[in-house]
Chains A and B, each alone.
Chain A
Amino acid sequence: MTVFEPPKKILIVDDDPLNIEVLVAMLNDFDVKILKAQGGAEALGIVEKEKPDLILLDVMMPGVSGFDVAKQLKADRAHRHIPTIMVTALSDTENKIKGLEAGADDFLTKPVDQTELKARVKSLLKVKGYHDQLQNYNQILEAEVARRTQDLQIALTRRENLEAQLLRSQKLEAIGTLAGGIAHDFNNILSSIIGFAELAMDEAEKGTELWDDLDQIIQAGERAADMINQILTFSREKPGELRPIQLHLIVKEVAKLLEATLTPNIKLKTRIRSDAYAMADATQILQVLMNLCTNAAHAMSKTGGELEVRITNVADDDRGLRKTLKPVTKTYMEMTIRDTGCGIDPAISSRIFDPYFTTKDLGKGTGIGLSIVHSIIENHNGALTFTSKPGQGTTFKIYLPVVEKKTDHPHAPPREYLRGSEHIFLVDDEQVITVMESRILTNLGYRVTCETNSAKALEKFKQNPKLYDLLIVDYMMPEMTGVELAAEVNKIRNDIPIMLCTGYDMKVMSDQIEPAGIKSVIVKPMRKDKISKAVRDVLNQSKSGTQNDANYITH
């Protein structure tokens, strides 16, 4: 590769033009551009303008001397790298030292010897060349460092976002698990409180203070029951029935409901720019929109303002979307709920999705709304984002994956289930689950054997390992977990396909799942469509002998 390089520039400074001409003549076989200056001040001006690669500097000049020029150049960051050769009639050591102190790189004594001049010039031009190159490399390096630092910052921010998301979902999960454990007792207690209060009311006269107090007990009990129910939404994935629906129809319904309830100082604007279909539970999406809109109205209750509900299609290359969603190649639709209200205080914005977090007065809300909204949207494989400026308003955006419309009648899509007649061995310690799952599977044509104890199941399997075509095991079982049971079964018969059912996210355990011979992981709750497809897939795979990594089915 040839790179065009402009000729090097040499500045010759001398108060006597004849001396300059002598030096020019001596350098005439160099491919260089010669610049001339007849005084120190002129020299400094040329340096500024032309940035020479070398300076031949006469020391003894009237006005600004050679020493002064050298000193000034060395003090200037932009020019201190220009090599300077002092040309002087003075050969005494004192002046040489003075020159060096001023910053000269070399000396030539008049009368100048041509060979010596050429050698010094050549060598210093070379040094200057190296220096320039180094500086170039430095610049490239600095740019590279800056670029990488920026990448790193982006990665770090992304990581922080993910960590915050993880923490949030862990918090929700922990609460859900806890709630599941106590819900049963809690509902008994609440039922007793309400029931006894109702009995006591028989003894009180309506309109008396006692009657009113008892009525308050009942109301409080019912509020607590509602709360338990809502908390339980976390412990169970309850996506209801997801069907292809045109979300703008829900938006229209929400607008109707809002018109009836909004105070006159709030103006509602509905913008519908998409009639695409999404797999969604209409009731839940309605709840989500109502919740966000009610919050928005609440934020504008004092000041009044504008509430906009908008639905648009969004391309999958949207950058904002990319940040919030897992890598996917789906088309999304975007629902925007924007208000011009008081906004969310930045100090609390990281907590708005926490269960129980509320800014409403005691008794006005349970603090559950937004965390429920969040989990519903996650269950729809969607994403929820918000931006807020205190005093200016808040915008929530919901993204849901768009589906192709498959049927002319979105509310009743025909369901075709995959069927079979193989023999399935089902192991789950919860009898209710085995009852339900075996009903589903039997309806699909399969023969089903159930067992609620994992150790017993293993015994049963050992007795006749060839009897079954597929083993479905629950993960969380006392004595032996589903993964442990699968590993044992796999030792006896490594060609039997095994499916693991779980209420938990098992991706973290993939190092145990595959060695145990598990071909598919299915996340509860089981729906007929999900289980029929998963079972058929695993059985077909095992028949065709394809070896795949464990499939992961959540929806």
Chain B
Amino acid sequence: MTRTILLIEDDQQHRLMLRKTLAKAGYAIITANDGKEGLRHFDSQIIDLVITDLIMPEMEGLETIRRLRKQHKGTKIIAISGGGRTDPASYLNVAKLLGAAHALRKPIRRKELLEAVQDVCPLD
């Protein structure tokens, strides 16, 4: 069974890298530039896992997670962040409080990413 991951990340290059990495591991990938765009994909797709950046224009990651928890309760979430004015640890902790299964700090190593993804969304 195909597993579909929605990847929300505003940094185009980083998005491409994650997409290639996850596709290589065998996942189907949909990408979005921000939370708003990402949520729209739920209308037309079955999504098993959302990987979202936390600091983004339009809809930032925490708000995206909050909405996902409300509108698509069963969805698994992995948050990623490199921080900014605030310590990424604080963002990531809040993301976890809001219901993210894993919170990863950028830069992300492939092993760490794939372990987290396989933990919540294992391939058959």
Contacts and interface: CB of A to CB of B under 8 A. Distances in A.
Contacts of A193: 107
Interface in B68-83: 82-83
B107 A194 contact: yes
Contact of A188 (B13, B90, B91): B13
B87 A184 contact: no
A180 B107 contact: no
Contacts of B17: 191-192, 195-196, 199
A222 B109 CA distance: 9
B11 interface: yes
A195 B111 CA distance: 10
Contacts of B49: none
A431 B105 CA distance: 20
Contacts of A238: 87
A181 interface: yes
A127 interface: no
Contacts of A192: 11, 13-14, 16-17
Contacts of A196: 17, 20
Contacts of A189: 13-14
A216 to B, nearest CB: 16
A222 B105 CA distance: 12
Contacts of B86: 236, 430, 432-433
B18 A432 contact: no
Given A184-B82, A198-B21, A190 B63 contact: no
A496 interface: no
B24 A191 contact: no
B85 A181 contact: yes
A199 B20 contact: yes
Contact of B109 (A186, A198, A436): A198
B82 A188 contact: yes
Contacts of A199: 17, 20-21, 24
Interface string B99-124: 00000011111100000000000000
Contacts of A202: 24
A40 B54 CA distance: 104
B61 to A, nearest CB: 10
Contacts of A268: none
Interface string A159-191: 000000000000000000000110111111111
A547 to B, nearest CB: 35
B108 to A, nearest CB: 5
A433 B24 CA distance: 37
Given A181-B85, A184-B82, A190 B106 contact: yes
A180 B63 contact: no
Given A191-B82, A192-B17, A435-B62, A222 B107 contact: yes
B90 A436 contact: yes
A187 B88 CA distance: 10
Contacts of B46: none
Contacts of A393: none
B87 A190 contact: no
Given A194-B107, A431-B63, A187 B82 contact: yes
A430 B63 CA distance: 12
A472 interface: no
A180 B24 contact: no
A431 B20 contact: no
A225 interface: yes
Interface centre among B11, B85, B88 (most CB of A within 10 A): B85
Interface centre among A193, A195, A202 (most CB of B within 10 A): A195
A196 B55 CA distance: 22
24 contacts: A183-B82, A183-B83, A183-B84, A184-B83, A187-B105, A188-B13, A188-B106, A191-B17, A191-B106, A191-B107, A192-B11, A194-B108, A194-B109, A195-B18, A195-B110, A198-B109, A199-B17, A222-B107, A430-B85, A430-B86, A432-B62, A432-B86, A433-B86, A436-B90
User: Which 10 A-B pairs give the minimum distances between C-beta atoms?
Assistant: A187-B82, A191-B107, A195-B17, A184-B84, A187-B106, A190-B107, A188-B11, A191-B106, A192-B13, A198-B110
